[in-house]
């Protein structure tokens, strides 16, 4: 029981900070991310995690050679 409480004491401040930061995201920030054709790897990784957590399926993205690959980036951009 003490081990669980110790782990929670470490995690809860991080969770609270993440939630507070999330509330600071503006519409401008989201529009800026959507406008990126080739975003930094970290942004792609974060949005991939969000898609996985929200159970969003990958969408096909056409490559220059005419083939397709599945992409969380296209799914994260939304409609």
Three-state SS for 39?
A: coil
What is the model's pLDDT at position 21? Answer: 86
Residue with the two structure tokens 């054709």: 37
What is the model's pLDDT at position 79? Answer: 65
- Give the number of other Cβ atoms within 10 Å of residue 76's Cβ: 21
What is the model's pLDDT at position 49? Answer: 86
- Rounded Cα distance between 46 and 64, Å, is 25
Q: What is the pLDDT along the chain (79 residues), one digit of tens a residue?
A: 788 889 888 889 988 898 888 888 888 988 888 888 888 888 888 888 888 888 888 777 777 777 777 777 777 777 6
* pTM of the predicted structure, to 2 decimals: 0.56
Beta carbons within 8 Å of 68's beta carbon, 6+ residues apart: 60, 61, 62
Question: Taking the domains of the chain in order of start, what are their residue ranges?
Answer: 2-77
- Rounded Cα distance between 29 and 25, Å, is 6
């Amino acid at each position: 029981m003490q081990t669980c409480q110790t782990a929670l004491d470490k995690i809860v401040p991080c969770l609270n900070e993440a939630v507070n930061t999330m509330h600071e995201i503006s519409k401008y920030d989201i529009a800026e991310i959507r406008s990126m054709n080739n975003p930094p790897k970290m942004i792609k990784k974060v949005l991939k995690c969000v898609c996985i957590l929200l159970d969003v399926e990958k969408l096909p993205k056409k490559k220059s050679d005419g083939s397709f690959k599945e992409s969380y980036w296209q799914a994260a951009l939304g409609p």
